Structures are given as C-alpha cells and as structure tokens.
Structure 1
Amino acid sequence: MSKSVEELKDLTTQVRRDILRMVHAVNSGHPGGSLGCAEFLVTLYNEVMDLKDGFDMDGKDEDIFFLSNGHISPVFYSVLARRGYFPVSELATFRKLGTRLQGHPTTHEGLPGVRVASGSLGQGLSVALGAAQAKKLNGDKHLVYTLHGDGELQEGQIWEALMYAGAKGVDNLISTIDYNGRQIDGDTKDVLSLGNLKAKFEAFGWIVLEEKQGNDIAAILKVLQQAKSETGKGKPVAILLHTEMGNGVDFMMGTHAWHGKAPNDEQLEKALAQNPETLGDY
C-alpha cells in the first residue's frame, strides 16, 4: 500500500491519541517512548515493509518486524490495529484482565502481528537473527526489521548478537535504534553512557546510517529506503534514529519523566488537544 506523507502524518496523529487514551484508561503503561516512535512505526508498517494480507507466525514471503523494547507496546498495538491486524476497538482492552493486549507483547494470546514475547530487554536482536537466517535457508529474499531502545543497548546480550550478525554477514537485517538519549532513570549518558555508538556498530561489522530527524516522516522514509538499498552487501544494517521521547505532546518532551507514567484527566485533555482526531477514536 502506498500513502502520502500527509496521510502518514494523519495516521501518526491518530496513533498518538490511541497511545494517550490507552495508557490513561488503566493509569499504567509507557507513553514516552511510544510517542517518540510513532512516526517510525507508522511509516514502517504502512509504506516500507512488504506485507501479506492476514497473519501467520512463519512470515514466509513477506518482511517481518520484531519489537525488542516491548514496553512501548501502546504504539505497537495501535499501529497493528490501524494496519488491520485486529479490530481497532480492541485497543480499549489494553492492560485489562483477560486482554490480548498485555503491557508487554506476548504470543500465547494469539494476537495477530506479534511473533515474539518482548519486554525483557536485550533479546529481540537474537530472535531476529534466527528469523533472518531462516529466511536465507528458505530462499526467502524478504527482510527482517527490529526496533531497540538506546537504553536497551546497555544489555550484554545485544552485543553478543551484534558480534554474531557482523561475523556471519547477516545482510537481510535492518535494526533501528530509538536514539532518544533517555531511559527510565534519566539520560542514558548519565545512567551508562553508550559512547560513540556509530563507531561501535561499525567495529562489529555493521553498515550504520544515522538520521537526526527521527520524528520527521519524510526523513524516516528516506533513511529506511537507503537502509533497504544497503541490504545484501554482506553486512547487517543499523539505523541510529534520533527521536524525541514524548513527541507531539509539549509537556512530555525534553524529559525522561514520562517513560512509564500515565497522564491524569487534565493532562490527557491537554495532550489530546495538541493531537486532534484524524481517523476516528476507538
């Protein structure tokens, strides 16, 4: 499917409303990173990935995506629902008893679009490598995409997977880092600095692209297309995507405070006023 940048912007605004309302309704969840990644996931799912109709766990003959930083489930669920994987109305069940929309995505409820349980940080890249190598064994030319938080890169398993991907030339993989510089306890540079991330990825044998405007849909489209053009060259591809935590809600931006905190009634009203309804609330 092909959408204009304006259509993608409208969809992103509606996804932001979904995120805010979902988290507010149960007074729990992670709005900050979800809002920061809204443009990226909307663009990835509605313009970049080659997807089949329907859903099956194998994902053969289509691109597949793994969310590694599973706590940003609100944006993932909203994008999946708005893409048609399950009814948009189901977003109203987020984090409620018996829901398929758990706080962290899981597989045992059989939610379409979710291929791996995530939330225990650091594991998504390892899973994606297995899927990417399976595609090669199956003669499937499609790609595997992942998304990671920058704070997640403080986990040791990530670096084992980075080393493996480079050493084995897993070149049908595009991994994006949500490079917002913030995590639950503060700025990543203060909690545990990542140093020169581009140089580190390159030292592990990756092709690295960097995009400073990670909340600009046109810029996201451009860097994702560039990343696709770098696949098949013997190296995995990484995108360092500089985003703003809480993007689109002025009082949630510029701070780590909204990493895992829900807005109250008054705050929700202010946030929604900044993101007018575009495609219809659930």
Structure 2
Amino acid sequence: MRLGSRPVPMSNLSLEQRAHNIRRNSLRMGEVQGQGYIGQALGIADVLAVAYFHALEYRPEDPEWEGRDRFLLSIGHYAIALYAALMEADVLPVDELETYGMDDSRMPMSGMASYTPGMEITGGSLGQGLGIAVGMALGLKRKSNPAFVYNLMSDGELGEGSTWEAAMVAAHHRLDNLVCLVDFNNQQADGPSTRMNSAEPLVAKWEAFGWHCQRVDGNDLGAVVRAFDAARELSAPQPRVIVFDTRMCKGVPFLEKRDITHFVRVEADEWAKALAVLDEGGPQ
C-alpha cells in the first residue's frame, strides 16, 4: 500500500462512528425530499466507512488528484449513500445536505459525475460500472499509476451480460489494481434478487471467471476491514471481488421489517423517529 498520501484525519473517530454518521446524514437527506433509497444507504454504510476511512487513498481538498484511488458508483440510485460518505470525508460540505435533490444542487437524486466532486462516473444504467472500471484500471496500468479502482455494484447487476463481459476482460488483462465490491442485499425492484435471476453459486462463478473472490458479512466492520486488506495485499496478478451480504435499512429496526425495502416508504412523521432509533442504537 502506498504511504503518505492519505490525509491526516481531523479526528480519531472510529469506523463505527463513521458508519453511524453516514447512516445519519443519509436519513437527513431523505427527509429533505421525503424519499430516497434509504434502505440501500443504511445497508452499505459500513462498507463505505471502511472504504473512505481505511482503504482509499484520496485528498479531500483535491478530488481530481491524479494519485487517488478511483471509487466508482455503478448503482447511481445509491447516490444518497455516497454523498453521505463524501460529506463525512470532507469532500462535500455538510451544509449542502439541505439541497439534496433540488434544482441546481450538486447532489442530484441519481449520481452524476458532472455535478458532484468525488463522483467518478454517472451511474444508473445498471451493468455499466464494471466495464468503465476495467478501462480505468487498464489506463492506470499503462501510465504506471499505482492507484486502485474500486467499483461498487449491486447484486441486480449480476444479471447483466455486460458485467460478465467486463469480468472476462479484467481477468484476461490480469488487472490486479481492480477491486469490485458487490452489495448483495438480495433486493431488486421486482423482488428478491435470488428469485429474479439468481447468480449463485456466486463465489465459484467469480473464481471461474479468473477473479479472487471473498464473501463476507457487509455489516460486520471487522470482516469488511479484513476483506479490503486482503484484496489490496493479494500478490496474485488477478482482479479481486468482495461480495458483501448486507441488510437493507440496517440500524433502523422498524424499517428493516418493512415488506418492501428496495424503495422503502417512510412517512413524514417517521423520519425523526428513524433518527432517534438510529442514535439510540449507535456508538456510545
């Protein structure tokens, strides 16, 4: 791992506190619009906390620094979660939170690279992120740039043919600077991912495509840290993927119990309740 480029943290907050803050700011943004992909944001917060406060090399004051690790959000509708992480990382100011989803905001409801510092690509057309990540990883290799490319994608994107085409190309070119992060929350717009177009056996499938694959509990911070470390430190010349099993609406039990969590319905009077429950169960 390259040393000396990650900024000195402004505080000694734990990863637990970082993840809590990401969840909290996601809920606050959701309240601004009265809607948002809150289930996904609450579920992926632990992964984002480890990514931005343990694994990634970046400079908050210079989001386009050439030496940065690239973090690609293939799933554009997860933008609310990434904005919350970028605020926590001092890339975006927290005082812009109230502009979420509004006209002229730097934080549209679906992520767009032309609007937001730290947003590497315009995602949302599912299945495209990994192909872009492959191109970036190849480009960095040809420039002898040691940066890593991380691509966060959803389990639904495992049903896209373009994902597996990109996976083959990455293995062919031995892109050991590429890490794919799969959020496996087993939810799609039409129901559980495993009932729509199951990608199982998932670990064996990625390995058959030439990738080093790990599968861990995405809401266990210790397991997430170990998985990121193993992916970066692997000496084999091959791309790596981590499948994170996450729980939708993690941290807010009454939302976790909802039948529909892909786009969870939160009533006007429930936002404050959700924040209170999150804080009650958060780090002490």
Within the candidate set 263, 267, 272, 1:264 is matched to 267
Whichever residue aligns with residue 197 of structure 2, its letter is L
User: 1:240 — aligned with what?
Assistant: 243
User: Is the CA contact 1:186–1:256 (under 8 Å) kept in the aligned structure 2?
Assistant: no
Residues 1:259 and 1:5: Cα distance change in structure 2 (over 3 Å): farther
Say if 2:22 is the partner of 1:15: yes
User: 2:209 — aligned with what?
Assistant: 204
User: 2:225 — aligned with what?
Assistant: 221
Gaps of 5+ in 2: 1-7
How far does the alpha carbon of each residue in 1:163-214 deviate from its partner, in whole angstroms, 9 at most, with x for none?
A: 1111221111111111111112211111221121111111111010111x21
User: 2:59 — aligned with what?
Assistant: 52
- How far apart in 1 are the matches of 2:113 and 2:101? 15
- How far apart in 2 are the matches of 1:3 and 1:44? 17
Length-normalised TM-score, structure 1: 0.91
- How far apart in 2 are the matches of 1:56 and 1:3? 17
Which of structures 1 and 2 has the larger relative contact order (alpha carbons within 8 angstroms, sep 6+)? Answer: 1
Say if 2:127 is the partner of 1:122: yes
Say if 2:187 is the partner of 1:187: no
Say if 2:74 is the partner of 1:71: no
User: Is the CA contact 1:148–1:178 (under 8 Å) kept in the aligned structure 2?
Assistant: yes
Residues 1:215 and 1:130: Cα distance change in structure 2 (over 3 Å): same
RMSD of the alignment, in Å?
2.2
Give SS of 2:137's match. Answer: helix
User: Is the CA contact 2:255–2:264 (under 8 Å) kept in the aligned structure 1?
Assistant: no
User: Is the CA contact 1:14–1:277 (under 8 Å) kept in the aligned structure 2?
Assistant: no
Say if 2:94 is the partner of 1:94: no
Within the candidate set 131, 140, 145, 2:145 is matched to 140
- How far apart in 2 are the matches of 1:261 and 1:223? 29
User: 1:107 — aligned with what?
Assistant: 113
Query: Identity over the aligned pairs, expressed in percent?
Result: 33
Q: CA deviation at 1:61?
A: 1.7
- How far apart in 1 are the matches of 2:10 and 2:56? 13
- How far apart in 1 are the matches of 2:214 and 2:241? 6
- Count residues in correspondence: 275
Whichever residue aligns with residue 259 of structure 1, its letter is H
User: Is the CA contact 2:127–2:163 (under 8 Å) kept in the aligned structure 1?
Assistant: yes
- How far apart in 1 are the matches of 2:10 and 2:261? 31
Q: CA deviation at 1:277?
A: 8.8
Give SS of 1:178's match. Answer: strand
Whichever residue aligns with residue 222 of structure 1, its letter is R
Say if 2:136 is the partner of 1:131: yes
Say if 2:40 is the partner of 1:33: yes
Within the candidate set 154, 162, 165, 1:157 is matched to 162
- How far apart in 2 are the matches of 1:256 and 1:188? 15
Give SS of 1:275's match. Answer: helix
